[in-house]
Structure 1
Amino acid sequence: MGSDEAPAWAGILREWRQGDYTVEIDHILLANGRGEDGFLEPVAGTAIGLVVISQTCDVVNYGNSDKEWVTVAALIKIDEAQLTNVQRGRAPTWTTLERPPAENVVVNLNQIMTIHKSVLAKVRREVGFDTDATRIRFADALARKHGRFAFPDVFSEQVLSDLRKRVTEAHKKDSDQGKAYRSIFSTRVSGAPNWDNAEVTVGFRFVLVPEAELQIERSKISEVVGTHLQKIKWPEGFKPENPPFVLQTEDEMSAKEWLESQEVDWGFISWPSGG
């Protein structure tokens, strides 16, 4: 086949999109050890099916050998309680499809593998999403899993974990606390001079939804957030900025402030030990 000649599978894969899946393959290949010769020892993990997590452009393109592969993840079944956590963003190693093959079936982002496109072309395609909006949310879930910022362990365990618990408990309440946190679009944190320094000054930036969507006035949001931040027991090597936090909308935040801060993904922050 010439370099410009389309492979046999190219036409079939034009229909595939990120988030589409097949249930004709009920396992995923993983490695759980190395043999005496140094080669990895594969093991077949069980799966309900496989979902494409490669970007759509990478699925439909062809050319050199690097473009002949796609990445897939396992579809697994979980219980109702676990599904609720996924839907609330508390289990980011799993994500959902708009059109799953069955109830309680989710994508396991911890179990992925690479397959040749000729394999994908031989199985029946199932549509995972009907709209661009839901496909975008799926892409965001993939980015969230692999692109989050790694805060220092002691800061995550002793500051963010405690704050996460307070935020989670308050968020579901029909109270000033709940309205305050539902008015916050994103939480960002800066560490000066940098997160690797022996002494780090920490500043929180709570990015609000647009003014028209606020569920409560700014003064109340500031009061709620301030009360919770005052309860933080700062570990050695970390101290709050003065003031310790700022409330801003995206329009009020400068590009410099955005770039010099990191988003807190509450779903990835571990609970305190024993909590």
Structure 2
Amino acid sequence: MNEEWVQEVDAAIKKWRQGDAVLSEQGFVYRIDPQRPLTEESLDAGSEGADLAESEVRGFVVVTQTCDIVRSCSSRPFVEVVPLVEVDEQYLYEIQRGRRPQYAFIPGVAEHRLVADLDRVMTVEKSVVAGWERQPGCDSDQEVRTLGQVLARKRVRFAFPDDFTQWTGKLQSRFREKHNKSSSEGEALKSLREIRVRAAPSWHDSEIQLMFWFIRHEEEVQFQRMGWDKLLQQWLKLIPASGRFQSVEGQVVTLEDITAKDYIESDPFDLDHLSR
């Protein structure tokens, strides 16, 4: 390995942080089965006998942890990147609020309505990143912290039991129907930070007590003279106790209201899950 190259790459890469981006046309490369193509790019590549496909993207976001990015390329030569994709304003809003775990909100490129697509990950050598023009992704400690939480959540999402998914069908339909409407309920749903649910004693028991927390942002109190208490009653009516779900309770809270114990013992009930 050329020592001069190593020093040049190490010097350039030390500026990069998790969440930083490159804003230019790039190629996302992935392996395919030429006999069973699943995308237009893999269909084209497979017709030529290739087992690698490439799709054009608007840029990349580095998702490797900062401590590993800045280590010398002589011992840690690789970083992981994900492509940037453009979304509409409503989707951008939902991603910023953490409701679409497939994507990550990147403050530094949000003005272009670009977000990180976490379903697609590519490994590149640090020398490639060293040649890119760096676009800072996060400016504050809170933005850095939030991005880290989003990246972690993508890998640790809870798989709800099938009977729970079926049982909450009416609630799911209600949320999908009302979420983008200009109504009290629609505005309330947009103002929720997240929804969490806890099963006691556990999801595997034959008799379960469920607790839903609808975690709102602190500034939102009521909508068109409809308070959170009335909205909560409407939502809970859609999930009455049934089968092994013996009791169902719910609260609308802020992060300051919910205890750390309740938070870590509950699971996120996100929109990506509901859309399945």
2:124 to 97, 115, 125: 115
CA distance in 2, matches of 1:76, 1:179: 26
Task: Give the direction of change, closer, same or farther, for the CA distance of 1:19–1:170 in structure 2 (3 Å limit).
Answer: closer
Shift of 1:214: 5.0
Partner of 1:148: 157
Task: Give the direction of change, closer, same or farther, for the CA distance of 1:270–1:253 in structure 2 (3 Å limit).
Answer: closer
1:190 maps to a residue whose letter is: R
Matching of residues 176-187 of structure 1 within 5 Å: 177=185, 185-187=193-195
Partner of 1:88: 94
Partner of 1:17: 17
Matching of residues 46-61 of structure 1 within 5 Å: 46-61=56-71
Q: Structure 2 stretches of 5 or more lacking a match?
A: 36-49
Partner of 1:126: 135
Q: SS of 1:110's equivalent?
A: coil
2:84 to 52, 75, 81: 75
Q: Are the counterparts in 1 of residues 193 and 215 from structure 2 also a CA contact under 8 Å?
A: yes
Q: Are the counterparts in 2 of residues 12 and 121 from structure 1 also a CA contact under 8 Å?
A: yes
State whether structure 2 residue 236 is matched by structure 1 residue 229: yes
Task: Give the direction of change, closer, same or farther, for the CA distance of 1:199–1:74 in structure 2 (3 Å limit).
Answer: same
2:162 maps to a residue whose letter is: D
Q: Are the counterparts in 2 of residues 99 and 129 from structure 1 also a CA contact under 8 Å?
A: yes
Relative to structure 2, which stretch is displaced further, 251-260 or 46-55?
Answer: 251-260
Shift of 1:47: 1.6
State whether structure 2 residue 266 is matched by structure 1 residue 261: yes
CA distance in 2, matches of 1:257, 1:101: 32
1:204 to 203, 209, 212: 212
Q: SS of 2:154's equivalent?
A: helix
Task: Give the direction of change, closer, same or farther, for the CA distance of 1:20–1:156 in structure 2 (3 Å limit).
Answer: same
Residues paired across the two proteins, number: 254
RMSD, aligned α-carbons = 3.8
1:215 to 198, 212, 221: 221
CA distance in 2, matches of 1:270, 1:56: 33
State whether structure 2 residue 50 is matched by structure 1 residue 43: no
1:63-109 residue CA offsets vs partner (Å, 9 max, x unmatched)? 773x221110112345x4xx422322354423443343984443222
Shift of 1:127: 3.2
CA distance in 1, matches of 2:64, 2:115: 17
Shift of 1:248: 4.6
Q: SS of 1:62's equivalent?
A: coil
CA distance in 2, matches of 1:207, 1:2: 54
Partner of 2:275: 271
Q: Are the counterparts in 2 of residues 21 and 126 from structure 1 also a CA contact under 8 Å?
A: yes
Task: Give the direction of change, closer, same or farther, for the CA distance of 1:222–1:91 in structure 2 (3 Å limit).
Answer: same
CA distance in 1, matches of 2:242, 2:111: 46
Task: Give the direction of change, closer, same or farther, for the CA distance of 1:75–1:206 in structure 2 (3 Å limit).
Answer: closer
1:166 maps to a residue whose letter is: R
Partner of 2:44: none
Q: SS of 1:74's equivalent?
A: strand
Give me the identity figure in percent: 27
2:201 to 193, 214, 227: 193
Shift of 1:45: 2.5
Shift of 1:237: 3.3
Q: Are the counterparts in 1 of residues 103 and 115 from structure 2 also a CA contact under 8 Å?
A: yes
Q: Structure 1 stretches of 5 or more lacking a match?
A: none
